[in-house]
Every structure is written in C-alpha cells, then in structure tokens.
Amino acid sequence: MKSIILNTKNLLIVVVTVLTSMTSWADSYVNAKTKYVEVNGSKIAYRMYGSTSGTGTPIFLLMHTRGNMDGWDPTLLDILAKNRQVIAFDNRGVGLSSGNAPESFAEMADDAALIIKALGFSKVDLLGFSIGGAIAQELLIRHNDLIRKAIIAGSSARGGVGVNDLSEKSKSVSTKKEFTDDDILYAFFAQTPSSQKLGRQYLERIKIRKSDLDKPVSMQAVKAQAIARQDWGTQTASPDKRMSTVKNSILIANGKDDIRMPTINSYNLFQIAPKAQLVLYPDSGHGFLFQYPELCGENFVDFLDQKEF
C-alpha cells in the first residue's frame, strides 16, 4: 500500500498555509545545550531535547552538506519535540565534533549508528535532509535494527538523476570557502519572491540562538562530503535497488523544484521503497522543510504517529 500527494495540475495539491511563527522560545531548540559523547576516539557534539514523557520514538537528525547543528529550524524541531526527544548532532569531523570527516555516506551511517548506541537508544526514527537522506538510506540498509521509521527529505537513491549534474553556481556553493546567507537562499529556496521571503525568515529564526553556537564546517569536511556525494550520484548501468528490501515505513518529501537533488529522484525513490509515502510541496526547492516548518512539522508528526500498514 502506498499513498502519494503530488503537486501537479492534474493531481491532488498540497495546500500550504503559513502559520504565525512561534514567539516563545523558552523550551525551544534555540536553548538546547550542546553536549559531547565519545565514539571511537572522536568527541561527538550533540543536542538532545524535547519530551521525555511523550509516547513518540526519539528522532535522530541527519544534516545537509556544509550544515551543522545551528542550521536546524527551531520552529520545525519544536513541533517534533512536543511528544518525543529530538537529537541533532555533528558527524565526525563536522562543526564541533573532532576527527576527520569520512568520504562515504556508508561510513557516515556507521558513525551515526555508533552515536545512536552511545546515547543509549535501541530504536530511533530518522529525519535525513539532503545528504542526510542518503545517510538515512545507508542506516536503513546497514543498521536496520536501530531504525523504526524514516523521513527522507530533499534526497535521492544512489545513482539518482542529475545528482552530479549541478550548475556551476550550485557546485561552487558546495565547495567554496565561505557559505553565506545568499548561498542558502539560492540553494535551498525557489527563485520566487514568496519563497525567498520565507527563506529570509528561516535565516532569522536560526540566528535567534546567540550563545553555545556551533562552528562552521571545515574545508576538510566540505571536501569529504563532496567526494561522498560524487560517489553517491554516479550513475551505473544497473540502478541501485537496495531500498527495495527495506520494509520500514518511509516518508519521502521534497520541494517542487529542487536544484540540489532534482525532485524526480524523490518520486523514483518512492517507486523503489515498498512502504514509502511521498509528499511534494509547492513553490519551494531543496529547503522546503525550512520554508514551511509548521506544515512540514505537522505532516512529519502525522507520519511518525500513524499506525504501520
């Protein structure tokens, strides 16, 4: 059984209502403290907060290229945290975490599995955004016993369409020394006035946090992520069908026009994974979940809380 919501003229359209942004951050991700756990000789930075008395399975967050813990939208995370613990972290060699960043998503997934265990969890849900969605797939394949459900946002199966065929400007965003607000607005949001406006609001939200900040991602990590992405995006004669063996419930989500991981790949992954659902959001791109944090938060919670089918 599959369910699908597509934003096209001929199919059901997701109606987007932008709600008023949160005004109180007292119990928010904005104030989640950075802590550390030792994993295989590396000091891993993480932030864990949310409901410890709720019924929701803890959700483990996997970030995009060049992203650190400060980049997660507090409005989105605070919706998830109402009934579950939320765990953000910097993978090895990223941000505040020590060590050298791996050059494959499989190795990043192995690191993530060790971190999940080191934090005392036997089963978690996943939210993987961009390359985090690729890492989530490797976790589902390599460490399935640790995963209940997964949300794969703005991503692709291995060898996806156009993953390595980025514009020169988009390539430079991945590898240049400075990663600016303008780069984020270009890479994550549609080039429409409405999407850009919501993108600027996202940038304002992630700057509410004023202390206990993360570190920019090092060039070693940026280069390692680029190598991993290039390998992941390489197309072969036989498409990667490993996700066809994964029986977990998966929500695949994306914006209408993703220039970083072309949106068609979300549909293609939906066709491969046997228990996948798909939702696409209008007037949005790669960073749709930060453009519509309230709507995506509610949709994600509905998926996480629904009974297995």
Residue with tokens 């907060």: 49
**Alpha-carbon gap, residue 56 to 259, rounded angstroms:** 33
Residue 283's pLDDT is 98
- As beta bridge partners, residue 279 has 5, 253
- The amino acid sitting at 188 is F
- Among residues 209, 195, 251, 256, the alpha carbon closest in space to that of 75 is found at 209
User: The domain 3-305 belongs to what CATH superfamily?
Assistant: Alpha/Beta hydrolase fold, catalytic domain (3.40.50.1820)
Of residues 178 and 231, more confidence is placed in 231
Hey, where are the domains in the chain?
A: 3-305
221 closest CA partner among 174, 263, 268, 260: 174
Tell me which residue has tokens 């390595």. 164
pLDDT for residue 25 is more than 90: no
Average predicted confidence (pLDDT) for the chain = 92
**Distance from C-alpha of 29 to C-alpha of 42, rounded to nearest angstrom:** 24
pLDDT tens digit sequence for 146-182? 999 999 999 999 999 999 998 888 888 878 888 899 9
Whether the CB-CB separation of 161 and 271 falls below 8 Å is answered with: no
Residue 17: other Cβ atoms inside 10 A = 7
Name the one residue in this structure whose structure tokens are 């992954």: 269
Alpha helices in the chain (DSSP H): 74-80, 105-118, 131-142, 168-175, 181-188, 193-206, 219-233, 264-272, 288-291, 293-305
Contact of 213 with 70, CB cutoff 8 Å:
yes
Q: What angle do CA 148, 225, 239 make, to 5 degrees?
A: 65
Per DSSP, what are the bridge partners of residue 153? 129, 253
Model pLDDT, residue 24: 55
Percent of the residues in the chain that have a pLDDT greater than 70, as a whole number: 91
pLDDT, position 237: 72
Chain segment 238-296, per-residue pLDDT in tens: 778 999 999 999 999 999 999 999 999 999 999 999 999 999 999 999 999 999 999 99
pLDDT confidence bin for 63, thresholds 50/70/90:
very high
Centroid of chain to Cα 262: 15
Separation between Cα atoms, residue 137 and residue 152, nearest integer Å: 8
Q: Residue 70's closest CA among 213, 249, 240?
A: 213
